[in-house]
Amino acid sequence: MKKNLITAFLMTIVTTILLGLIYPLVVYGLAQVLLRDKANGELIARNGEVIGSRLIAQPFTAAKYFHPRPSAAGNGYDAANSGGTNLAPTNQKLIDRVQADAKSLHEENPNQPIPVDMITTSASGLDPEISPAAAEFQIPRIARERGLSEAAVRDLIQKHTKQRDLGLLGEPRVNVLELNLALDELTSKH
């Protein structure tokens, strides 16, 4: 019995050191060497200051910016409270929010169908991307606010649209932060 307890204790120590210290350090080291940008959150910096991540949505509320999907994460785009609301389609709170969002979007762009991702939240509430249709829906507002032609804004969207991975996985998408940064650059040139 004593021998079994000593063996069990030693195995616990060895596996704790191996799997609790050595393995995580090796994985961390490999990630820093092979995939440094991805391992560190794909942060975007301008003039030495981090302004966001390609992986997490940020609130853009000014009319001159493309808006991301609505967020149900905490008070909105809160990475510490990531998650959907899990409200049923018949829940009055969800119905009221969607109707208010749809009304606001119709005021912005009357007589145009609203892309579904402009009124629905993602599962995490932090989706950094929108569909090309959602970006195109916002073209009239962006062009008007920035003093740009709709064609110039549409061209910018097309340049920043990522296609399906490997030609078949996922859907075409546009990263809102990257698009807004490119929009700022384009506007500063005019």
The secondary structure of residue 165, as a DSSP letter, is B
pLDDT for the residue 87: 81
100 and 35, same structural domain? no
CB 133 within 8 A of CB 174: no
User: What are the b/e assignments for 121-156, b being 16+ CB within 10 Å?
Assistant: bbebbbbbbbbbebbbbbbebbbeebebeeebbbeb
78 and 156, same domain (yes or no): yes
pLDDT tens for residues 122-149?
A: 878 788 999 999 999 999 999 999 999 9
User: Looking at the 3D structure of the chain, how many domains does it have?
Assistant: 2
Q: Are residues 157 and 70 in the same domain?
A: yes
Inform me whether the pLDDT recorded for 74 exceeds 70.
Answer: no
Task: State CA 116 to chain mean position distance.
Answer: 16
In this predicted model, which residue has the larger pLDDT, 104 or 79? Answer: 104
Q: In the predicted model, is pLDDT for residue 20 greater than 90?
A: yes
pLDDT of residue 190: 64
Shared-domain flag, residues 72 and 139 = yes
Query: What is the structure's pLDDT at 37?
Result: 82
What's the rounded Cα separation, in Å, for the pair 102 and 109?
10
Cα 34 from Cα 29, distance rounded (Å)? 9
Size (the chain), residues: 190
List the one residue out of 117, 120, 150 whose CA is nearest residue 133.
Answer: 117
Residues 120 and 27 in one domain: no
- 49 and 33, same structural domain? no
pLDDT digits 0-9 by tens, 91-126? 898 899 889 989 999 888 888 899 999 998 887 878
3-state SS class at 148: coil
* Cβ–Cβ under 8 Å, residues 179 and 134: no
- Average confidence score pLDDT of the chain: 89
| Secondary structure tally for the chain: helices H, strands E | 8, 5
Element (H, E) at 49: strand 49-53
pLDDT tens digits along 150-181: 999 999 999 999 999 888 898 999 999 999 99
